[in-house]
């Protein structure tokens, strides 16, 4: 057994990451048979937009959000969505779906000629406003998470929601620092989107 394999077994159990706070979502399904998970998709989310730390994102992903708690929630009422991971402004990491399963984060999407990105990707939501800045703690947590995911899955690409659903989605947006993430990971430039 190699050191990388040993580390992967320590970090992961059935697609759940040891250093994430686990809160299982009902919004997931199986990946198609034989699917290779090789794409990381970075998103941004806050509920309502621009409000942080209230637990509404966790509630949305677990179908427990009170649709009457804020007028904005009426515009998304009934949505059944999830992501594999959520990184709060302070860098706290939550996991909602096993990475061995298909989370419902990408919607109608395509990357390098392959449609339905949910089938072959891991979705990571950063707490933030689309186009707004992110915190240093979030970049640190994101880089550590990406490195850990790459120990278990053959990650070949990292993209934003804006890259896999152009014209429909614009997150994480212009203020997301792709260069910082790339430098933190020391991964080749071709893995990342061309901005």
Q: What structural domains does the chain harbor?
A: 3-191 (3.40.80.10)
For residue 85, CA distances in Å to 18, 42, 147 come to 12, 10, 14
Region label for 86, one of left (φ > 0), alpha (ψ between -120 and 50) or beta (otherwise):
beta
pLDDT tens-digit readout, 113-147: 999 999 999 999 999 999 999 999 999 999 999 99
Mean pLDDT of 62-72: 97
Stated pTM of the model: 0.95
**In which band, very low, low, confident or very high, does the pLDDT at 8 lie, cut at 50, 70 and 90?**
low
Residue 2: band (very low, low, confident or very high) from pLDDT cuts 50, 70, 90 = very low
Length reported for the chain: 195
pLDDT digits (tens, 9 = 90+) for 10-59: 899 999 999 999 999 999 999 999 999 999 999 999 999 999 999 999 99
pLDDT reported for residue 53: 96
Residues 6+ apart with CB under 8 A from 110: 116, 117, 164, 165
- Residues assigned a catalytic role: 125
Q: What is the pLDDT of residue 1?
A: 40
How many CA within 13 A on the CB side of residue 146?
Answer: 28
Mean pLDDT taken over the chain: 95
Query: What is the token pair recorded at 115?
Result: 């449609």
Q: What is the pLDDT of residue 6?
A: 56
Better-predicted residue by pLDDT, 7 or 52? 52
């Amino acid at each position: 057994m190699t050191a990388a394999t040993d580390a992967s077994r320590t970090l992961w159990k059935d697609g759940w990451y040891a250093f994430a706070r686990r809160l299982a979502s009902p919004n997931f399904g199986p990946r198609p048979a034989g699917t290779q998970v090789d794409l990381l998709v970075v998103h941004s989310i806050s509920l309502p937009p621009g409000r942080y730390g209230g637990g509404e994102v966790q509630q949305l992903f677990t179908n427990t959000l009170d649709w009457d708690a804020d007028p904005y929630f009426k515009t998304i009422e009934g949505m059944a969505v999830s992501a594999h991971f959520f990184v709060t402004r302070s860098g706290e990491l939550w996991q909602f779906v096993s990475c061995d399963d298909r989370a419902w984060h990408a919607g109608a999407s395509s990357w390098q000629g392959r449609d339905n990105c949910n089938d072959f990707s891991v979705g990571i939501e950063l707490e933030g406003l689309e186009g707004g800045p992110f915190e240093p703690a979030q970049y640190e947590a994101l880089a550590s998470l990406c490195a850990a995911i790459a120990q278990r899955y053959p990650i070949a690409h990292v993209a934003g929601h804006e890259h896999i659903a152009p014209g429909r989605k614009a997150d994480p947006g212009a203020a997301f620092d792709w260069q910082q993430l790339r430098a933190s990971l020391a991964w080749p430039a071709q893995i990342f989107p061309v901005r």
